[in-house]
Amino acid sequence: MNLRDFAYAVAVDEHRHFGRAAEACHVSQPTLSGQIRKLEAHLGVELFERTKRAVRPTPAGARILERARTLLAEAGAIEAMAAAMTDPLSGPLNLGAIPTIAPYLMPRLLPSLAHALPSVELRLTERFTGEIEAMLVDGGLDAAIIATEPEAPQLASVPLYDEPFWVALPKGHALAQEEEVDLGGLAGDRLLLLSEGHCLREQVLGFYASGRGAPAEVRTEETSLTTILALVGGGLGVTLVPAMSLSGPWVTDAGIVVRRETSGAARRRVQLAYRKSFPRMALVEKLADVIAAIVPDTVAPYRR
């Protein structure tokens, strides 16, 4: 019984498939399956119920896997602590970001990180906020760029920048000729939003709920912000976009115009979240400095 075997078991639980778990662990499926069988024999219980259609933990397996995750997180913390004692600005950094930030920030950030932190081995993960927080708590991520306050008590955050939202309109919209647009003027429009799970959706709905009037219709799209903007260009509705996205190629689309939102209430605070127990705080601070230095003047950084 060793940490590797528990890591294999946790991977099977996450993927609910032995083949995909083996691929994630960079081993063959027979090797992974054999090690889990040995672990089950050593423990005297079956960890998984195996059928042709599904793999799921047994009741005993679920309890053991919960402890295994804690064990693996502690082992990772020990390794990180040892690395921090030698050089906190070197070694692996597992960094997460939400989908409405990653495509616009990462192209700016990656070259700067390579220059400012040449000894850091960066590994990027893009997930929804809830998934990112779970990965931070479990040790799957070291830090993450999110747009809400972290909810888990094990987590803390460093503010990076305040980001306003701009209004994206079809070119033929009645307000397209205005330099700035108030959300109240869009009360009768169809509002195009990302699906549930995206914090951007809840933030936009919150702006309207704060007294700016209700949209005539809210249409949810199980897709990306890029696709929603294509629908705006096609005259199917309006939406709000984070300021960082204004650097994207969609801005040159002849069917879309973007305008500032006049009230200033439509904005979000982007933060760098991390575990309170993470031993490489010097790396967190350096990463926050690098991000603040490369953001465009459409946002307001907290440090320079």
Sequence spans of domains, the chain: 3-81, 88-161+268-301, 164-266
Superfamily of domain 164-266, CATH level 4: Periplasmic binding protein-like II (3.40.190.10)
- Residues 38-81: pLDDT tens digits? 999 999 999 999 887 888 999 999 999 999 999 998 888 787 77
In this predicted structure, what is the pLDDT of residue 88? 78
* SS3 label, residue 85: helix
Is 70 exceeded by the pLDDT of residue 242?
yes
Average pLDDT score over residue span 161-167: 90
Instruction: Decide: 293 and 117 in contact? Cβ < 8 Å.
Output: no
The yes-or-no answer to whether 3-81 and 88-161+268-301 have a common fold is no
Greater model confidence, 254 or 162: 162
pLDDT higher at 248 or 146 = 146
Give the least confident one: 183-197, 260-274, 275-289: 183-197
Structure confidence at residue 96 (pLDDT): 96
Mean pLDDT in the chain?
A: 86
pLDDT, residue 241, reads 86
Interatomic CA distance for residues 127 and 271, integer angstroms:
15
On the question of pLDDT at 20 being above 70, the answer is yes
Fold of 3-81: Arc Repressor Mutant, subunit A (1.10.10)
- Band of pLDDT at residue 272, cut at 50, 70 and 90: very high
pLDDT of residue 106: 92
Domain 88-161+268-301 has CATH 3.40.309.10: no
Name the one residue in this structure whose structure tokens are 């064990």: 71
Q: Distance (Å, rounded) from C-alpha 209 to C-alpha 279?
A: 40
Average pLDDT, integer, range 260-272 = 86
Percent pLDDT > 90 in the chain is 49
Tell which wins on pLDDT, 246 or 131.
Answer: 131
- Its pTM stands at 0.68
Q: What is the pLDDT, as a whole number, of residue 255?
A: 83
Binned at pLDDT 50, 70 and 90, residue 187 comes out as confident
Cα angle value 129/71/19 (rounded, 5°): 70
Q: At residue 216, does pLDDT exceed 60?
A: no
In the prediction, which pLDDT does 79 show? 79
Question: By the 8 A CB rule, do 237 and 215 touch?
Answer: no
First-last CA distance in the chain: 49
